[in-house]
Amino acid sequence: MARAAKPEVVLNSVEAEGQVRALKSDVDYQTKEFTVEVLVQKYSDGLEEDENEIYVPTYQREFVWSKARQSKFIESVILELPIPYIFIATLPKSIQDDEGRAEIVDGSQRIRTLHAFLSDHLRLSHLEKLDKLNGFCFSDLEISRQRKIKRQGIRVIELSDRATEEIRRDIFERINTGSDELKDMEKRKGIYTGPFYDFIRECAATEEFRKVCPISHVKQRREEAEELVLRYFAYCDSYLTFRHDVRKFLDGYLKSHQHDFPRERMLQEFQSMVNFATANLPYGFRKSPISSSVARVRFEALACGITLAQRLSPNLIGSKKKIEDWITSKEFSNHVVSDASNSQPKLKGRIEFVRNKLLEA
């Protein structure tokens, strides 16, 4: 039986252009610049009575920024670094009691952080650049610095009252969908570029490593392979100095090796580790033959444990049967649970567990 012909799609450029013009005309805006002081005042005046000129609509999330993230933003303001635009929308007269009120479409976390700081509800912490400001509230600063912060300009895009609620929500969704936060390794690629980062990428791209340590396509695009390789080198060399902050530990290690590192020694150890894992681990670094990716804590335990054992026994010979016995045991499983990643004793425990099992064999 002959298949029914699919209906033809008629492309009408005139209708398409008409649709673009119609929707585009609904988004009318102007760019303004407010000082920090004025912006905070427009948000805070009448805050308790819901009469503030600029307010947070119900579809926006709660104030969720951590103290560290708030402090980082204030640090950017003090250093007069570029701040992303804040989007607000003037409400149509039909849905506002007082003419001129505007809702925050995007930027509520930033505005609320500025308000918290200027009202002394935020004490700065976790600052690395301006570390001497840690512990400061706004009123602790010199008067001249307070004035400079208040005069700092913040750029604002204000949608006109022609923007419907649907348009405002659509803009909010597009902005927040498009601003997917970078993973730690993606940030490092931009901050710590140099010979060592290139070396990490080289190791992560080898066919042998990818086979024994498969990574999903989505995670590959987010630098997961490079993240694992960095963790391998950092923990092999310095796991005894690790405390609890993985990001800070890895950043410090990468920075200290950025332009000067023992390439030949590290490459030889990495290749020996990959070869041993390929020959002796039942499913490579995966938990089972059907696993599509590798858990970080599992990789750290096995990869670093292998290298530590090879450092003590350069001619280390594996026993697939004995390895399979302990790698599938409850004891090993307890060592590589996901909540153990930020614990120094557990990191030491899982790496040395693998090292000792390999040396026993």
What does the DSSP 8-state code read for residue 140?
G
Q: Residues 30, 75: contact at Cβ < 8 Å?
A: no
The series of mean pLDDT values per 10 residues for the chain, 361 residues long, is 55 79 67 92 74 77 84 94 86 58 87 95 93 95 95 88 67 59 71 88 94 86 90 94 88 92 96 94 88 88 95 86 86 76 84 92 71
| pLDDT value for 230 | 96
- Check: CB of residue 92 under 8 Å from CB of residue 161: yes
Residue 107 contacts residue 127 (beta carbons within 8 Å): no
Query: What's the confidence (pLDDT) of residue 26?
Result: 58
Model pTM?
0.59
306/351 Cα distance (integer angstroms): 9
Query: What's the pLDDT score for residue 164?
Result: 66
DSSP 3-state percent helix, strand, coil across the chain (nearest 5): 55, 10, 35
Q: Which two tokens stand for residue 140?
A: 């602790």
pLDDT at 310: 95
The closest alpha carbon to 100, from 89, 112, 115, 109, belongs to: 89
Identify the pLDDT of residue 17.
Answer: 81
Please report the pLDDT score of residue 152 as a whole number.
Answer: 92
Give the Cα separation of 308 and 72 in Å (integer). 38
- Look at residue 333 in the predicted model and tell me its pLDDT: 86
Q: What DSSP character marks residue 6?
A: P
**Ordered DSSP codes for 43-104:** HHTTTTTT--SEE--TTSPP----HHHHHHHHHHHHTT---PPEEEEEPPGGG-SSTT-EEE
> C-alpha 43: how far from its chain's center?
29
Distance, in Å, from the CA atom of 273 to the CA atom of 307, rounded to the nearest integer, reads: 6
